Amino acid sequence: MPDHPLPVDPDQPISPSTASVLTVIAVGGAIGALARAGVAEALPHPRDGFDVATLVTNVVGSLLLGMLMVYVVEHERGHPLLRPFVGVGVLGGFTTFSTYTVHTRGLLGHDLPLALVEIVAGVVLCLVAVAAGVALMRRWGPR
């Protein structure tokens, strides 16, 4: 272990303790996972159908992550624990690349066109959402 803690967020001058960082990530992750479960309950899909819930969570999470990064990095706003809490915890627990890949892999065996749609839609829409989040925060975010 180094004599001094490594910075949690290189964009923030204050470095909180490791315990506080792990705590906010865990609490944020629980919140995000519960929110994702709520979306999955609200938007169920058949096992062999298009997974709208996962697409929605990943796109919304990407949008919010783009906004968060501009807020924290470019506007230099927020508490030093904001990025670990929201970015790693809440949005890390909310978005789910693993569910996306497992479901798509399952589709590959019996519905190749739908699997390809899910792959392309997930990647493209999430990239567009990040760019939109960045653009929105740059245009209407705090100055």
Helix-strand-coil percent breakdown of the chain, rounded to 5? 70, 0, 30
Tokens for 68? 């968060």
In contact, 59 and 129? CB cutoff 8 Å: yes
CB-based contacts of 41: which residues, under 8 Å, 6+ apart? none
Q: Is 38 annotated as a binding residue?
A: no
Q: Is 92 annotated as a binding residue?
A: yes
Q: Which residue has the tokens 């890949």?
A: 101
In the annotated binding site, the residues are: 92, 95
Annotated binding site for Na(+): 92, 95
